[in-house]
Amino acid sequence: MKKVIVTGGCGFIGSHLVDELLNKKVKVVVLDNLVSGRISNLNLKNKNLKFIKCDISKYNKKFSNYFKNIDTVFHLAALADIVPSINNPQLYFSTNVQGTLNILKASQNNSIKKIVYAASASCYGIPKKFPTTENSLISLQYPYALTKKLGEDLLIHWSKVYKMNVTSLRLFNVFGTRSRTSGAYGAVFGVFLAQKINNKPLTIVGNGKQTRDFVYVTDVAKAFYKAGKLKKNGDIINIGSGVETSVNEIAKVISKKKIFIPKRPGEPDRSKANIKKAKSILKWKPKIKVIDGIKIMLNNLDYWKNAPVWNKKTISVATKVWFKFLK
């Protein structure tokens, strides 16, 4: 691995992957439209780093030329969040599906040796078996999950038909520094940390006993790096901690102030990844425990100082369509 592309490289996970690659002396080209990513997440002084602002949903010769002399592509660029995907599924299809197709076309045209795709564990919907394996039932609950799974389907199809070497990493609940601080109501840590900075109560969904499989972002970056070096083709691999942590446990570490808001439909009560494939195929396992990851974030609270501060009323408004369309 000498020169790579990271799509979404200014974003949360992407920027940490860029750091990991640069630390390994790999030359990196970042493609990002800066809709949710921050240019400040990159060290542009590094001579091995090049940033190109572009929209992956638009394919042309110029776009394809970005992939010349590249050996590996890490495709992380995507629109996230549930509610916006319900409100505007067309935009999500344009970015997450058409954008992925464009990445595959450009990679194929330039004989890319390896593509690693950031898939989502949201494809499992509300799992019935724990820990959840890669061959578990697919149950798509909302357009975001659908578009990420369709992107993965395209990737695997290109592998079979065009013999491209690909790996798909199904990410569970990634957390850590540089997580998004603007836009729609979303991931629990961003919500909680903004509330803590502003001395507001944490808004806990349901009774807070629901669990998630949280995995720290730098561990995830290392998983991507290992996948990029993987010669084996066509694997779909869960990336999580293999440990369940409740929302109440997280809240206890962050703040004593809390209130409870209604449980939302379409969300699982439990989440726990089976990471045997990650351990056996990637030779990877997470190193940072949830409690230690939270401490790192609390030591970097300023990152969330301009994040929206959600309360019971604004969350109710923001999630209105959630209750309307999801059962």
Catalytic positions, written as ranges: 144
Report DSSP letters for 298-311, one per residue: HTTGGGGTTS----
Strand partners, 3: 27
Q: Which helix (H) or strand (E) holds 5?
A: strand 3-7
Tally of CB atoms within 10 A around 207: 12
**Could you give the count of Cα atoms lying within 13 Å of 110 in the half-sphere of its Cβ?**
24
For the chain, how are helix, strand and coil distributed in percent, rounded to 5?
40, 20, 40
| Alpha-carbon gap, residue 249 to 43, rounded angstroms | 34
Closest CA to 56 of 107, 111, 94: 94
How many residues are there in the chain? 327
Q: Is the dihedral of CA 243, 285, 225, 16 positive or negative?
A: positive
Buried b or exposed e, range 73-107, using 16+ CB within 10 angstroms: bbbbbbbbbbbbbbeeeeebbbbbbbbbbbbbebb
